[in-house]
Amino acid sequence: MATEASGEEKGSLVFHPMDQFIVEPLFGDGPVGMFTITNVTLWMFLAIVGIVALMVIGTSRRAIIPTRTQSIAELAYGFVYKMVEDVTGKDAVGYFPYIFTLFMFILFANFLGLIPGSFTTTSHFAVTVVLALAVFLTVTILGFVKNGASFLGLFWVSSAPLALRPILAIIELISYFVRPVSHSIRLAGNVMAGHAVIKVFAGFAAIAAISPLSVVAITAMYGLEVLVSFIQAYVFTILTCVYLKDALHPHH
Amino acid sequence: MATETTGSAPVSTCVDAGGSAIGMPQLCFDWFPNQIFWLVITILAIYFILSRIALPRIASVLAERQGTITNDLAAAEDLKHKAEEAEQAYDKALADARAKAQAIAQETRDEIKAELADATAKADAEIAAKAAESEKAIAEIRASAMENVEAVAKDTAEAIVAALGGKADAKAITAAVSSRIKG
């Protein structure tokens, strides 16, 4: 968190790697209230626009022989659909729209965040924690609704020796409640770290001797971030599928 | 984290006077309600757009494509069957024609053979008739020749007998000639 303003006084290196994550009102300078239209609003709206462009406008022709955009939309559909079917099971396809929504939102937010000067909504814990908590609550409630008390069998590893089971139950219980934490911090942490590192490298570009190296490093990091953007969306989605599987089939 | 900056008053607890973030903007609780509110709106919007419009459409397109592919494959299978049937019909027609040709050839051959046999028989009969006729003629000629021989022999015998000065007894001469000729 080296964002001291003292760097400006020296006039050489100015690092503000976290400034890109500041939430600010789009219009005026007022405080950020709950309903204020901020850069969060703008970039989330752009994610909606992107998703609509791809999934609705791109498929509007309903072509049997798909156009390029329609191909991508179908590819995304097939990718997530197969994931839900393979990981969670055939009876879980009813939750496919929800999982697909999560995947598309995270994917578009991540990729829109890669546009230089943009704001990355998924780099904020407030966003990812809400997403992860929604999954956690859905899974927990669904687990009890579908299985009743036998959902607790998830924590009682019946394949382990009897003496070990209470200990395992405690471990399982802790790991279950850590899920939303790791689920959300993994996504926001990865995205935030990548963006911050790029900013740090960009700061080094101010020194003429290092700047070529800095540009190379930024390029390399950008490539990595493109990868991370997709992989984190994928990981978040597949973990959602895994957790959902626990809710639908709690017995190991 | 949110260390108070010296100097001019901060814009908020998370941004200092210079417009830089204080600590991690991710942990600025002032911004949480805003982010959560817009996130919920966004997620709901995306969910409704996808589940109401996009996903059913893509599902129907995929199903339709699957149907088209299945239909096309079935049509191709059908056409293949038809082609095979046509080939079989062609082969059958060819075989039929060949058999028919063979039958016609056989018939013609038989006809010719029968005609030939007929002609041969007719010719044979004619030949036989002619041969019999000839034989008869030959026999007649032979018989008449015999008679002539007998007559000549009788005459000759009478003449010889007369020349020898005997009185020729016609009956005796005839008997003698006859017995000589037969003997």
Predicted pLDDT of residue B183: 64
pLDDT, averaged across chain A: 88
Instruction: Find the domain containing B66 and state its range.
Output: 25-182
- Name every chain A residue with its beta carbon within 8 A of the beta carbon of B54: 55-56, 59, 73
Query: B2 lies in a domain?
Result: no
Total domains in chain B come to: 1
Over chain B (183 residues), the average pLDDT of each successive run of 10 is: 42 76 84 92 95 93 93 96 96 95 95 93 92 91 84 82 78 80 70
Query: Is the pLDDT assigned to residue A6 strictly greater than 50?
Result: no
Name which of A47, A59, A180 is nearest A105 in CA terms. A47
**Rounded Cα distance, A22 and A28, in Å:** 15
pTM: 0.74
Query: B148 lies in a domain?
Result: yes
- Name every chain A residue with its beta carbon within 8 A of the beta carbon of B37: 34-35
Predicted pLDDT of residue A129: 94
The three-point CA angle A6-A7-A10 to 5° equals 100
pLDDT digits (tens, 9 = 90+) for A22-73: 888 888 877 888 888 899 999 999 999 999 999 999 998 888 888 999 999 9
Query: B16 lies in a domain?
Result: no
Predicted pLDDT of residue A5: 40
Kindly state whether B48 is in contact with chain A, defined as any CB-CB distance less than 8 angstroms: no
Let me know: does A44 contact B42? Beta carbons within 8 Å.
Answer: yes
**Rounded Cα distance, B177 and B33, in Å:** 172
At A9, the pLDDT band (50, 70, 90 cuts) reads very low
Amino acid type, B141 = I
B-contacting residues of A 104-163, CB under 8 Å?
A: 104-105, 121, 123-127, 130-131, 134
Kindly state whether B52 is in contact with chain A, defined as any CB-CB distance less than 8 angstroms: no
Query: B6 lies in a domain?
Result: no
Let me know: does A110 contact A119? Beta carbons within 8 Å.
Answer: no
- Burial grade of B97 (CB within 10 A; 0-12, 13-18, 19 or more): exposed
B-contacting residues of A 60-89, CB under 8 Å?
A: 62-64, 66, 70, 73-74, 77-78
**Cβ contact (<8 Å) for B33 and A16?**
no
pLDDT digits (tens, 9 = 90+) for A87-120: 999 988 899 999 999 999 999 999 999 999 899 9
- Name every chain A residue with its beta carbon within 8 A of the beta carbon of B16: 5
Predicted pLDDT of residue B92: 96
